[in-house]
Structure 1
Amino acid sequence: MGSAGAPGSARDGCRYLPIAEHGLIGDLRTVALVGTDGTIDWYCCPSFDSPSVFGAVLDADRGGRFELAATGPATTKQFYFPDTNVLITRMLTEEGVSEIQDFMPVATDAGPAAEAVGHRLIRRVLCVRGTMTFRAAIAPRFGYGAVPHALRPIANGVLFDSGELSLALSSSVALEDDGQDASARFTLDQGQTAVFVLDCLDGRIPRPMCSLGQAEDLFTETVAFWRRWVGQSRYRGRWREMVHRSALTLKLLTYAPTGAMVAAPTTSLPERIGGNRNWDYRYLWVRDAAFCVYALLRLGFTSEAEAFMGFLTERVRQGTIGPSGPLQIMYGIDGRTDLPERELAHLEGYRGSAPVRVGNGAAEQLQLDIYGALIDSIYLYDKWGRPISSDHWEAVCALVDWVCEHWDRPDEGVWETRGGRRNFLYSRLMCWVAIERAMRIARRRGLPADVNRWGRQRDAIYHRIMDKGWSVHRQAFVQHEDDDVLDAAVLMMPMTKFIAPTDPKWLSTLDALTEQLVSDSLVHRYDPLASRDGVGGEEGTFSICSFWYVEALTRAGRLDDARLAFEKMLTYANHLGLYAEEISHAGEQLGNFPQAFTHLALISAAFNLDRELG
């Protein structure tokens, strides 16, 4: 992946780096965002959805950060160690060249990383050429910057203690402290190394100092882990580097203890600077995770799919039929169902974009499309992974029976609108998918099912969509019944095999979407003013919709248009190949970062475009 230049180490007078000027590291339990200037701006521990200890991306003054940089003016370039999630930030100055290696060891059954279960964040500084002086400033702010902490010296470092959580910082160079924060200033000659290790103790006693040799061993082990994992990929197409970076990113967003996948590892990064569309994405959305399973299965990663299936089967077993059905649309990464939404008024938000929210009230919404996404992923897992178990099949039948009884209910839809429930076309479409895919499994495997009843309901949904979802005025399929609002979600119609990709009605819809929602290769999900979504304000283009558009063009046989749109979308990735949720009219990445939905859509679009190009 190409590198990005970020001259200067003080953010050029700006308190916030652009969202895209960050890389991601993690250990399959939590992650950290590392800026191109060497500052860690976001880190929650011990898990994705824990309160932040470094949250400068949401408040530059009160959020906390871990700065590490050359003391003088520097140009920085950032890249991933090839085929890994180990991040390298190089600093070029007149005095020399250095690099910061940021990584989090991943717990394995054997090897040095097995001791890193307690979330060990390692920062190695290497002087590659010349002699360079560095500065470090470690300023954690517990509980999203709201919980005070004490600092006390320990062997080779300091301990930050908030009462509920402790961070042990050990360093190979001398540290100073002011009773709250720690800092260091040190000089390295060519070939010399310094190491900072931050341990999330979570009730445990501090570990012995991590020596330079141990840090080297953990670096080697972490590199080997990621290379072994991505080496399982079966993708050999034209866009291998971008596809594998997307796969590595999806893996980083996986919570290993349960198999859950977060939609994104951040909260409240705005969809528009100064706007209020700021949400917490650090949870498992059934829809997003199901689509992730599809993307990873395409590449040959079956164990992730198996873990997710186990997670969802357990939710079905434990759940009861409530107002939103047998499944919630989202869960905590540990499976919890209560995700109360609240605002953190003491944080200003990224570049003043308040409010900052934690928790997500959409967890209580009815979104019927999740059943189609889930059962489609089960169908693909049964086809490409392992045969579905009897327990899984019983759960599928229960879900399909429920869908047959409730598919015609109005809901909040795939975009989680807050303007009241409507009869969304996409929700109907995915209910059709849920029933149709379950029927395929039953017939292929000879499994018991009431396929006659299922078939009647499947056909009723088809006729409802064709009768009520088609706008004569627009000559297109529209967002919901009784209106003419266009919606990029209908791009999924040919992708789910509901309609032929060359059907005249579909081609007319594709033309209407191109004219109204597409700007260059970028696609708006809908017009929020026309849709009356209950949130208000403007938003950027949705990157997942842009990749759906590529796939729709591909399936319609418009390969030149599809390839051009895909190549253009690749130019909107950041320097590491990462995508946030949205892209502004000026090409700036906005929204939570990086977003799983976008990366899984990239994988799907690349796979299918490759296949059609031959």
Structure 2
Amino acid sequence: MAFENAALGGVDDSRYLPISEHGLIGDLRTAALVGTNGTIDWYCCPRFDAPSVFASILDADRGGSFELAADVPTRTRQFYFPDTNVLITRFFAADGVAEIQDFMPVVDESREADRHRLIRRVICVRGTLPFRARVAPRFGYGAEPHSVQVRDHEAIFQSRSLSLSLTATATLETDGRDVWANFKLLEGESVVFALDRIGDEVRPRACPRAEAEDQFGATVRFWRHWLAGSRYHGRWRETVHRSALALKLLTYAPTGAIVAAPTTSLPEQIGGERNWDYRYVWVRDAAFCIYAMLRLGFTSEAEAFMGFLDERGIMRGLGQDIGATGPLQIMYGIDGRSDLPEYELSHLEGYLGSAPVRVGNAATGQLQLDIYGALIDSVYLYDKWGQPISSDRWDEVGVVVDWLCDHWDQPDEGVWETRGGRKDFLYSRLMCWVAMERAIRMANRRGLPADLPRWRQSRDAIYRQIMRQGWSAERGAFVQGLGSDVLDASLLMMPMAKFISPTDPKWLSTLDVLTTDLVSDSLVYRYDPEASPDGLRGTEGTFSICSFWYVEALARAGRLEEARLAFEKMLTYANHLGLYAEEIGPTGEQLGNFPQAFTHLSLISAAFNLDRALG
């Protein structure tokens, strides 16, 4: 795939696969990216937000990788073992065909997280093929030295903070830093590699062929059993289920947290500075994810996330010392921690030279009022489709809504986490309205105690303010901020949030203006950074979540032919496995962290609602 401005500052772009040329495997604790060339070039151990062991996607020389490929010219194809997250990479050569089966064993969703295993099984299925493997870990984001000891079929990598054991059914060699193996497979023969985290409580163990086969079978059964719980049987079943499987991979079983993406610093613009760490729990993203999971019938994920909020104390004791920034942060660590300091890894060049590489996220301290609407909407949906919420949770909802009644009418950083200062964003007001409206619904439906007159007064005040100050008669559209004339794709949520009828003349006019100004071949830009400076240099691609919001807005407006065409076009921008990064670039390339939960949950919602509208 061609890259626009790919080789910057002398960076050799041939050393980097396109972001889209990857599949994802995981064990509900961490994940790894496997390239179509057979290389694992991103892996953090033992959890999503741990320092990387393999990070050659961020620095081809210093990041570390696990290479495994045929040692002759080949063509490769990649697919998922049906209805699972077991990834198959196939190699087609003149003398034979072979495949790598990559997976992290998952037997159940136990909270025990001591053992972390990554299995790579190579099988020759036709003819004969020579293979080469090279395991080059670079601990601590490539900054921490390590030693290696090799004995026949086992290698122990040791660093200050982490030790890994590599066992193989092929003979291993070492240069004192990396480990490699060369072997030739005849039809029906196989070689197994297993990479394990080891420590005081977890000793090295071999992974012979029979055990690899057993763990392969158990992992396949786990994923298929989980997916069998889906209630979706519509037109795009395979696409929707792949998105559901991707979302499940982004959950952290020990706490119920859901990460926004498993990667950090994959750029929104090649050579630009819009590189962020997404390995955390955004309240907004996770709450929307709960909506998508509940739509498909997966109530246990919603229950687990509610447990994350409860057990980590995120919504407990909210009445104590609540300041102007609100009772909640916009994001948390997967263990519920609130401190996520942002810093740069200057020794890494970044994907295709796109520095800086960042760890942590300074947006933690931002005020984003929209998160309260997303969260309370998810609580409302869980109460409606899952289990009735507890009295303690209702008390927490009341604290949030009471705080919003006093603080909704103020500028904030907005849903897109701009770094250009606080503004009166319409979307933030919209989601404050959602928080109050859903809380009122819950109170009325279940007869729960609430200060309903105050809640209704604030809800109605927000509605009137949006209608009076958020509508631009000159543009014939609702706009990004009160009193402005700038468009914003977040407005596509207005009918989906049930704030306005999807066929209201003002909304239909807004949809037309958004189509003219922000839509390009079904792809939707968030906003125009020149018209609305966001405090960052450079440009960005189209935002895939906005593109799926656009599909849903068209469907709800009754423009079904346009909606279906836009949806089908969006599906062509997925990678070969049906996965999406955060953005789509000018020539169709995927940009930003990969895969992104927000995009996949919006795909599920769009497919579900378009299916229903088509009948």
Q: 2:259 aligns with which of 254, 259, 262?
A: 262
CA–CA distance in 2 between the matches of 1:163 and 1:318?
A: 38
CA–CA distance in 1 between the matches of 2:40 and 2:105?
A: 17
Superposition pairs of residues 105-504 of structure 1, within 5 angstroms:
105-108=105-108, 117-154=114-151, 156-313=153-310, 314-317=313-316, 321-504=322-505
CA–CA distance in 1 between the matches of 2:339 and 2:537?
A: 26
Matched-pair contact (CA < 8 Å) for 2:261–2:594: yes
Matched-pair contact (CA < 8 Å) for 1:104–1:121: yes
Greater mean alpha carbon deviation, residues 307-316 or residues 131-140: 307-316
CA–CA distance in 1 between the matches of 2:156 and 2:548?
A: 46
CA–CA distance in 2 between the matches of 1:154 and 1:305?
A: 46
CA–CA distance in 2 between the matches of 1:205 and 1:432?
A: 50
Equivalenced residue count is: 600
Matched-pair contact (CA < 8 Å) for 2:144–2:160: no
- Deviation of 1:127 (Å): 0.5
CA–CA distance in 2 between the matches of 1:322 and 1:115?
A: 37
- Deviation of 1:204 (Å): 3.8
CA–CA distance in 1 between the matches of 2:317 and 2:191?
A: 49
- Deviation of 1:300 (Å): 0.2
Query: What secondary structure sits across from 2:196 in the alignment?
Result: strand
Matched-pair contact (CA < 8 Å) for 1:262–1:282: yes
Greater mean alpha carbon deviation, residues 25-34 or residues 150-159: 150-159
CA–CA distance in 1 between the matches of 2:508 and 2:105?
A: 49
Query: What secondary structure sits across from 1:317 in the alignment?
Result: coil
- Deviation of 1:82 (Å): 0.2
Matched-pair contact (CA < 8 Å) for 1:106–1:117: no
Q: Check 1:225–1:508 CA distance in 2 against 1; reply closer, same or farther (3 A cut).
A: same
Superposition pairs of residues 575-590 of structure 1, within 5 angstroms:
575-590=576-591
Matched-pair contact (CA < 8 Å) for 1:37–1:69: yes
Matched-pair contact (CA < 8 Å) for 1:528–1:536: no
- Deviation of 1:207 (Å): 2.5
- Deviation of 1:95 (Å): 1.2
Amino acid at match of 1:219: F
CA–CA distance in 2 between the matches of 1:201 and 1:468?
A: 59
Q: Check 1:115–1:537 CA distance in 2 against 1; reply closer, same or farther (3 A cut).
A: closer
CA–CA distance in 2 between the matches of 1:324 and 1:201?
A: 42
Matched-pair contact (CA < 8 Å) for 2:240–2:607: yes
Amino acid at match of 2:170: V
CA–CA distance in 1 between the matches of 2:107 and 2:324?
A: 39
- Deviation of 1:153 (Å): 2.2
Amino acid at match of 1:307: A
Matched, 1:63 2:60: no
Superposition pairs of residues 545-584 of structure 1, within 5 angstroms:
545-584=546-585
CA–CA distance in 2 between the matches of 1:186 and 1:272?
A: 40
Query: What secondary structure sits across from 1:529 in the alignment?
Result: coil
Greater mean alpha carbon deviation, residues 304-313 or residues 278-287: 304-313
CA–CA distance in 1 between the matches of 2:179 and 2:405?
A: 60
Matched-pair contact (CA < 8 Å) for 1:375–1:437: yes
Query: What secondary structure sits across from 2:316 in the alignment?
Result: helix
Cα-to-partner distance string for 1:393-415 (whole Å, 9 max, x where unaligned) = 11111111111110001100000
- Deviation of 1:205 (Å): 4.5
TM-score normalised by L of structure 1:
0.96
After the TM superposition, which segments of 4 or more aligned residues of structure 1 sit over 4 Å from their partners? 114-117
Q: Check 1:334–1:581 CA distance in 2 against 1; reply closer, same or farther (3 A cut).
A: same
CA–CA distance in 2 between the matches of 1:116 and 1:188?
A: 34
- Deviation of 1:324 (Å): 2.1
Greater mean alpha carbon deviation, residues 345-354 or residues 464-473: 464-473
Greater mean alpha carbon deviation, residues 316-325 or residues 394-403: 316-325
Amino acid at match of 2:544: S
Cα-to-partner distance string for 1:252-272 (whole Å, 9 max, x where unaligned) = 000001100000000000001
- Deviation of 1:155 (Å): 6.5
Match of 1:27 in 2: 27
Amino acid at match of 2:610: L
Greater mean alpha carbon deviation, residues 382-391 or residues 28-37: 382-391
Greater mean alpha carbon deviation, residues 115-124 or residues 273-282: 115-124
Cα-to-partner distance string for 1:434-480 (whole Å, 9 max, x where unaligned) = 00000000100111111111000000000010111111111110111
CA–CA distance in 2 between the matches of 1:520 and 1:330?
A: 33
CA–CA distance in 1 between the matches of 2:612 and 2:404?
A: 33
Match of 1:529 in 2: 530
Amino acid at match of 1:450: D
Matched-pair contact (CA < 8 Å) for 2:373–2:435: yes
Gaps of 5+ in 1: 1-11
Q: Check 1:289–1:95 CA distance in 2 against 1; reply closer, same or farther (3 A cut).
A: same
CA–CA distance in 2 between the matches of 1:205 and 1:26?
A: 19
Gaps of 5+ in 2: 1-11
- Deviation of 1:163 (Å): 1.7
CA–CA distance in 1 between the matches of 2:579 and 2:375?
A: 25
Match of 2:49 in 1: 49
CA–CA distance in 1 between the matches of 2:323 and 2:475?
A: 37
Match of 2:7 in 1: none
Matched-pair contact (CA < 8 Å) for 2:109–2:253: no
Query: What secondary structure sits across from 2:379 in the alignment?
Result: helix
In angstroms, what is the RMSD of aligned CA positions? 1.4
Amino acid at match of 1:25: I
CA–CA distance in 2 between the matches of 1:80 and 1:307?
A: 26
Matched-pair contact (CA < 8 Å) for 1:166–1:200: yes
Cα-to-partner distance string for 1:235-258 (whole Å, 9 max, x where unaligned) = 000000000000000000000011
Matched-pair contact (CA < 8 Å) for 1:176–1:184: yes
- Deviation of 1:152 (Å): 1.1
CA–CA distance in 2 between the matches of 1:324 and 1:302?
A: 31
Matched, 1:91 2:91: yes
Q: Check 1:589–1:521 CA distance in 2 against 1; reply closer, same or farther (3 A cut).
A: same
- Deviation of 1:107 (Å): 4.5
Cα-to-partner distance string for 1:557-585 (whole Å, 9 max, x where unaligned) = 00000000000000000000000000011
Amino acid at match of 2:288: F
CA–CA distance in 2 between the matches of 1:411 and 1:582?
A: 24
